[in-house]
């Protein structure tokens, strides 16, 4: 294993951060990456996309989150160096030579994200992980040039940590596991900026009980309460923030809006900035990708408000002016009603392809803590006095209990006007009355055909 080392700064640079207090930068390479235009671009991409439509404070960007993950890896390295320094190779303790590598990987783990990543990827076939790898390893980027100052193969090493192919699992899991620097930062940060206090956990205490072991990162057994607290916070954030029905409704609108734009563009009628045009026309470069950000997207939407295509113009306005779709919970039984409902919606004048959707929280880019299943190898473990590891839910009745409680939240989205409570004419219209009889207390209900009398 090569030892990567950076020129130290003459004087530490400190960036104020409301979540961690201060971000400390002592390496030239970290400062250079930070100053690169690819990294600065992150300032223009919100961490939670349209969630700020539900929690107005959530305007924080991927820039701060990346810095926060860097700061947490830096702190964990400090702790590991002080408390668990490796003495002989392979002793399962922390090898200090990995510090710079893991710090840079933390800093860059999300560098491939663009605006509205998940929606964008679905529609344009981009992949933020692959793009991230390119931004790090492509000689055209300022980030690549900065990293190469450390060593010619440093960019590839950083990329391999993010790709989880780096051989040292402690390094990989510090930024990719069920309780890693990435999640710890975003849960705290999202809680701070949304104002959802229930999402705050005791980060300081959690760092106090984190430790390395042969196969990765675990926690000392006296830290169970701190880890429980983290899991409960995470549960609350998923329930209250990440799966919020209104936020999801704007993901739906966004998806349909971009889909429609693609169609209208293909008809040759769309006013669009050059960077986005490249994607609508399916021939984009890395440079095009790096020119996208939330503001560019919204500037396009703003121009599309005035488009001649009525669906495009309407969806653009709905997004910019924050006019969400309504939604109801559905299940396997009530799903059968959707064709009927889509028919009514169409009758009311809305194209169901652009004005309805189903969306399940299982589609979301977040996964709950599950000790078995595909992420089994990133489960949380507590080290016992004798060095053995026990998976968290074996020890904590609270966590065990929570694991069973995640349930699907599948929803059907449609125009609010279908169930408007206002005193507008349609509430007496049989079409709307028909629709509304299927909706009760936020759920679809299955109406059985009334039995005929003679039966």
CB-based burial label for 73 (10 Å; 0-12, 13-18, 19+): buried
CB of 52 to its own copies, least distance (A): 7
CB of 8 to its own copies, least distance (A): 13
Q: Which is nearer to its own copies, 401 or 427 (CB)?
A: 401
CB of 160 to its own copies, least distance (A): 28
The total number of residues written for the chain in this structure: 455
Q: Which is nearer to its own copies, 178 or 396 (CB)?
A: 396
Q: Which is nearer to its own copies, 205 or 342 (CB)?
A: 205
Which residues between 375 and 434 bind its own copies (CB under 8 A)? 385, 397-398, 400-402, 404-405, 407, 421
CB of 1 to its own copies, least distance (A): 25
Contact residue for its own copies among 5, 15, 122, 352 (CB under 8 A): 15
Instruction: Single out the segment in contact with its own copies by CB under 8 A; choices: 36-44, 348-356, 361-369, 426-434.
Output: 36-44
- Number of residues counted as binding its own copies (CB under 8 A): 74
Contact residue for its own copies among 1, 21, 91, 349 (CB under 8 A): 21
Which residues between 39 and 68 bind its own copies (CB under 8 A)? 40, 43-44, 46, 52-57, 59-61, 63-64, 67
142 neighbors 37 (Cβ within 8 angstroms): yes
Strand partners, 358: 412
Residue 273 has φ and ψ, to the nearest 5°, of: -70, 155
Q: Which is nearer to its own copies, 121 or 288 (CB)?
A: 288
**Backbone dihedral region for residue 116 (phi beyond 0: left; psi -120 to 50: alpha; all else: beta):** left
CB of 202 to its own copies, least distance (A): 5
Contact residue for its own copies among 90, 152, 167, 274 (CB under 8 A): 274
Query: Is 454 in a helix, a strand, or coil?
Result: coil
Query: Is 411 in a helix, a strand, or coil?
Result: strand
Q: Which is nearer to its own copies, 157 or 257 (CB)?
A: 257
Residue 216 has φ and ψ, to the nearest 5°, of: 155, -130
The pair of three-digit structure tokens given for residue 180, joined into one six-digit string: 């890693």
Draw the binding track, 96-135, toward its own copies (x: CB under 8 A; -: no contact). Answer: ----------------------------------------
Which residues between 177 and 236 bind its own copies (CB under 8 A)? 192-198, 202, 204-205, 208, 225, 228-229, 232, 235-236
| DSSP line for 127-148 | -HHHHHHHHHH-TTSHHHHHHH
389 neighbors 221 (Cβ within 8 angstroms): no
Draw the binding track, 280-309, toward its own copies (x: CB under 8 A; -: no contact). Answer: -----------x-xxxxxxx--xx------
Query: Is 88 in a helix, a strand, or coil?
Result: coil
CB of 397 to its own copies, least distance (A): 3
Distance CA 274, CA 292 (A): 10
CB of 94 to its own copies, least distance (A): 17
Distance CA 102, CA 170 (A): 9
Instruction: Single out the segment in contact with its own copies by CB under 8 A; choices: 37-45, 69-77, 171-179, 345-353.
Output: 37-45
Instruction: Single out the segment in contact with its own copies by CB under 8 A; choices: 94-102, 123-131, 272-280, 362-370.
Output: 272-280
Q: Which is nearer to its own copies, 338 or 419 (CB)?
A: 419
Handedness of CA 277, 280, 286, 292 (dihedral sign): positive
329 neighbors 335 (Cβ within 8 angstroms): no
178 neighbors 369 (Cβ within 8 angstroms): yes
**Helix 245-266 / helix 117-124 crossing angle, nearest 10 deg:** 30
Contact residue for its own copies among 3, 35, 340, 437 (CB under 8 A): 35
Distance CA 29, CA 142 (A): 11
């Amino acid at each position: 294993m090569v030892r990567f080392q950076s020129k130290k700064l003459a004087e530490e640079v400190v960036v104020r951060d409301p979540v961690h207090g201060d971000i400390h930068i002592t390496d030239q390479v970290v400062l250079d990456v930070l100053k690169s235009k690819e990294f600065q671009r992150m300032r223009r991409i919100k961490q939670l996309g349209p969630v700020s439509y539900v929690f107005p404070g959530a305007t924080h960007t991927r820039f701060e989150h990346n810095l926060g993950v860097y700061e947490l890896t830096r702190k964990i390295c400090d702790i590991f160096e002080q408390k668990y320094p490796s003495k002989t190779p392979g002793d399962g303790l922390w090898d200090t030579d990995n510090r710079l590598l893991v710090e840079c990987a933390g800093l860059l783990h999300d560098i491939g994200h663009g605006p509205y990543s998940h929606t964008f990827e679905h529609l344009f076939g981009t992949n933020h992980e692959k793009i991230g790898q390119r931004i790090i390893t492509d000689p055209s980027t300022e980030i690549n040039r900065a990293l190469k100052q450390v060593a010619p193969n440093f960019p590839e090493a950083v990329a391999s940590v993010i790709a989880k192919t780096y051989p040292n699992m402690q390094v990989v899991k510090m930024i990719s596991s069920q309780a890693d620097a990435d999640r710890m930062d975003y849960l705290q940060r999202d809680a701070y900026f949304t104002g959802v206090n229930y999402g705050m956990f005791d980060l300081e205490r959690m760092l106090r009980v984190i430790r390395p072991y042969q196969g990765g990162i675990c926690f000392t057994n006296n830290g169970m309460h701190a880890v429980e607290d983290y899991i409960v916070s995470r549960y609350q954030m998923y329930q209250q923030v990440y799966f919020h029905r209104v936020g999801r409704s704007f993901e739906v609108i966004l998806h349909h809006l971009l889909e429609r734009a693609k169609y209208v563009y293909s008809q040759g009628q769309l006013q669009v900035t050059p960077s986005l045009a490249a994607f609508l026309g399916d021939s984009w470069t890395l440079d095009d990708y790096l020119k996208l950000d939330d503001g560019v997207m919204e500037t396009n939407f703003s121009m599309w408000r005035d488009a001649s295509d009525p669906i495009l113009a309407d969806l653009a306005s709905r997004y910019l002016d924050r006019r969400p779709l309504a939604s109801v919970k559905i299940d396997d039984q009530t799903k059968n009603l959707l064709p009927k409902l889509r028919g009514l919606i169409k009758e009311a004048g809305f194209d169901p392809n652009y004005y309805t959707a189903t969306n399940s929280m299982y589609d979301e880019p977040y996964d709950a803590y599950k000790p078995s299943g595909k992420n089994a190898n990133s489960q949380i473990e507590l080290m016992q006095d004798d060095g053995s590891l026990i998976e968290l839910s074996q020890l904590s009745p609270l966590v065990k209990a929570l694991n069973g409680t995640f349930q699907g939240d599948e929803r059907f989205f449609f125009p609010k006007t279908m169930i408007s409570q206002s005193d507008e004419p349609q509430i007496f219209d049989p079409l709307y009355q028909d629709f509304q009889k299927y909706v009760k207390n936020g759920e679809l209900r299955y109406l059985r055909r009334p039995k005929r009398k003679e039966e």
